[in-house]
């Protein structure tokens, strides 16, 4: 469950994103997860900005439950007045990204497939993202997870 107070559908969608990114249930429910194959970071003071060799030719700074990239940290930290990279800040950042993709209304209304489609250019694990070398989840799997995590589809 998200570490901020939000609707059931939004909390379920955040869990879906964490599931898709492979962080849900790991460590501090993914909030302290570095990109695979790396492990975990130990301080929520700021984005860990650790460069991880994911595979030959791909280095990533993705970190946290939603695998936020360090290059975007300062922008969102200032925009949202985030005090740290802790769970509530990561949730607020993810929700802002959902809002920017104009998918928040779809999430709240339970239009999960539309929300996933709108957010796929943010999260590489979403179906249709087509990031080279990134495994993607299927739409049926994510819709089922949305329900499993307490979401109510339209």
Decide if 78 is inside a domain. yes
136: which 2 tokens?
A: 């993607």
Q: Tens-digit pLDDT profile for the chain (154 aa)?
A: 457 889 999 999 999 999 999 999 999 999 999 998 789 999 999 999 989 888 888 888 999 999 999 999 999 999 999 999 999 999 999 999 999 999 999 999 999 999 999 999 999 899 988 877 778 899 999 999 999 999 999 9
> Per the structure, how many domains does the chain have?
1
CA distance 20 to 141: 9
Decide if 154 is inside a domain. no
The CATH number given to whatever domain includes residue 133 is: 1.10.530.10
Structural domain boundaries enclosing 38: 8-148
Decide if 34 is inside a domain. yes
Report the candidate in 46, 45, 43, 89 with the shortest Cα–Cα distance to residue 65: 89
Task: Tell me the DSSP string of 42-111.
Answer: ---SS-----EEEETTEEE--BTTTTB-GGGHHHHHHHHT--SSSHHHHHHHHHHHHHHTT-HHHHHHT-
Decide if 1 is inside a domain. no
pLDDT at 1: 46
Decide if 20 is inside a domain. yes
- Active site members: 21
Decide if 153 is inside a domain. no
Decide if 60 is inside a domain. yes
CA distance 43 to 46: 7
Residue with tokens 């984005």: 47
Decide if 3 is inside a domain. no
């Amino acid at each position: 469950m998200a570490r901020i107070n939000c609707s059931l559908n939004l909390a379920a969608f955040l869990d879906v994103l964490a599931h898709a990114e492979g962080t849900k249930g790991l460590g501090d429910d993914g909030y302290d997860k570095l990109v695979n194959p790396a492990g975990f970071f130990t301080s929520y003071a700021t984005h860990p900005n650790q460069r991880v060799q994911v595979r030959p030719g791909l280095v990533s700074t993705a970190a946290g439950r939603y695998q936020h990239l360090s290059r975007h940290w300062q922008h969102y930290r200032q925009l949202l007045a985030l005090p740290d990279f802790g769970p509530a800040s990561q949730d607020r950042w993810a929700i802002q990204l959902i809002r920017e993709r104009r998918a928040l209304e779809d999430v709240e209304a339970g239009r999960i497939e539309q929300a996933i489609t709108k957010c796929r250019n943010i999260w590489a694990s979403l179906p249709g993202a087509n990031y080279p070398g990134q495994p993607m989840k299927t739409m049926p799997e994510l819709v089922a997870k949305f329900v499993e995590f307490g979401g109510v589809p339209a």
